[in-house]
Amino acid sequence: MSTSDILPCFIVMMLATLATLAASSKAPSPERELVRGSMALHFVSSFTLLWVMDYVFGVSDTHVYLAEAKPLIALLEQRFGDTFVDILRLIVNQSTHLPGYEEGGGSSASMVGVSALTVFFANGSVWAVFVALGYLGFLGKWALYAGLRDEMPEVSTRSLAYAVLLFPSVVFWTSGLVKETFALAGIGFLFRSVQLLRRGPNVFALVVGAVGFALVASFKPYLLFPFAVGARSWFVTARSTRFPLLNPLLALLAIAVSVVAIAALGKIFPEFAADKVAESAAKLQSSYSEGGGGSNFEVIEVEDRSTAMRVALAPVALFTALARPLIFEAHNVSSFITAFETLVVTVLAIQTVRTVGIRATAAAIMNHRALGFCAVFVVIAATAIGMATSNFGTLARYRAPLLPMYAALIIGVRAVAAAAQAKERPAAEPAPAVAARVRGAPRRNLRGLGWLR
């Protein structure tokens, strides 16, 4: 970092801090401190991520985006108006008048457009860009946390904050100029939008949802599919207690909504349509494995990438995305840290199922909107990522947008199952230890209260 980076970074951090202090001022004290602590952690991670990319990796996708953005920055300096509009079109994957991007492009082209705009407005400071985008990642997690908090009152705010706002690898990989920052921010905004719109018409929720959709569609469009399928859980688990005959209709409506949403997304993003999923996954897996090195692995052999084989190995892909690398698969410090983190989360998941029970776990997920959504989103997204990724380094980064929901699912199942068990226990039934003490205690003659004995 040079002296020219200090002022832009300070301005970004000051404005972000003031906005967060104002927005969180009415929150309860423990939650307020956790939210502000998460913001500070994102700032630290922004500096750390850029330092790692510059001095540890040396070359990364981010360096490629910044290099390709230089001609666009020069065009912004020459004729701002027309170039600005064209770059906005490039970010949302539309055709432009920019040299080399006349037909638009995919998510990488969107990253080039974002790099050009952010570096231009940051007066050339990449450090300030990382800090600003780290704050965007924080806002997305805050939105996701707020939605889950309102939907899961059984879970303590502290536990939920640690799962969503303070998940170490998630904070690290979503605090800079990387696709995962935009993807997780978009998922968080979309989730909060759906959660608010369930209560009734809300213009703010519509705006937040539109921003979230644009972010996910531009940078990680395949995540819209598990989101669309998971959204049906909001209908399936919304059982009608006043009109139970409506429950089958709600289930049919949920299935219809999912089918229509997936079909529409397949038309918007043909490369992720149902009939091309296997082909797209094979291309992604090939591109990820080109880097070589000891971190490469293969869930599916290159010789057999048929749709049938992918379906058969879906459980392996799911396990790979959520639980690997294993400790003995770590070849360096970064992969060991990742392996240790996944080990801790996997142990917590297994312990949760063993403690709660398989039947109670399934019941908690099926009868709870937020848990149902998280389970569907995590399973589908993790399976797709596990099939398409062939390198542990990219795996750690690509699964970052789904890990907060995975962690929230684990602690949510524990809390919801415990609440259900407490509700089933008769209120008048004393706890065994208390009952024993009452039976063994000497009788006292309480004046005026003899009728209570």
CA distance 112 to 66: 7
**Does residue 290 register a pLDDT over 70?**
no
- Integer distance in angstroms from the first to the last C-alpha of the chain? 76
Q: Which two tokens stand for residue 105?
A: 């492009």
**Does residue 431 register a pLDDT over 70?**
no
Helix (H, G, I), strand (E, B) or coil at 295: coil
**Can you give the pLDDT at residue 306?**
53
Q: Which residue in this structure is represented by tokens 């010789």? A: 303
CA distance 149 to 166: 15
Q: What are phi and psi of 193, to 5 degrees?
A: -65, -50
**Does residue 13 register a pLDDT over 90?**
yes
Task: Give 239: exposed, middle or buried? Use CB within 10 Å, 0-12, 13-18, 19+.
Answer: exposed
Q: What are phi and psi of 199, to 5 degrees?
A: -80, -20
What's the rounded mean pLDDT across residues 362-385?
Answer: 87
**Does residue 178 register a pLDDT over 60?**
yes
CA distance 275 to 279: 8
Domain definitions of the chain by residue range? 1-219
CA distance 339 to 329: 8
Helix (H, G, I), strand (E, B) or coil at 296: strand
CA distance 234 to 442: 54
Instruction: Decide if 408 contacts 163 (C-beta within 8 A).
Output: yes
**Can you give the pLDDT at residue 444?**
41
More confident residue, 197 or 35: 35
CA distance 116 to 91: 10
**Can you give the pLDDT at residue 380?**
86
CA distance 228 to 249: 19
- Extended beta strands in 22-122, E state: none
**Can you give the pLDDT at residue 287?**
47
Which residues are within 8 A (CB) of 396 and not within 5 positions of it... i.e. 6 or more apart?
169, 173, 335, 338
What's the rounded mean pLDDT across residues 211-221?
Answer: 92
Instruction: Decide if 96 contacts 90 (C-beta within 8 A).
Output: yes
| Phi-psi domain of 448 (left: phi exceeds 0; alpha: psi -120 through 50; beta: other) | left
Q: How far is CA 437 from the centre of its chain?
A: 49
Which amino acid makes up residue 431?
A
Give ∠ CA 98-182-78 in degrees, rounded to 5. 30
**Does residue 47 register a pLDDT over 80?**
yes
CA distance 377 to 371: 10
Portion of the chain with pLDDT greater than 70, in percent: 75
90-103 pLDDT per residue, tens: 998 888 888 888 88
Whole-structure pTM value: 0.81
Which residues are within 8 A (CB) of 357 and not within 5 positions of it... i.e. 6 or more apart?
417
User: Which of 153-157, 332-336, 388-392, 404-408 shows the lowest mean pLDDT across its residues?
Assistant: 388-392
CA distance 319 to 442: 58
53 DSSP assignment: I
Helix (H, G, I), strand (E, B) or coil at 106: coil
- Round the average pLDDT of the chain to a whole number and report it: 79
Where is mean pLDDT largest: 122-136, 270-284, 327-341? 122-136
CA distance 288 to 302: 13
For residue 325, say if its preceding peptide bond is cis, omega within 30 degrees of 0: yes
CB count in 10 Å sphere of residue 394 = 20
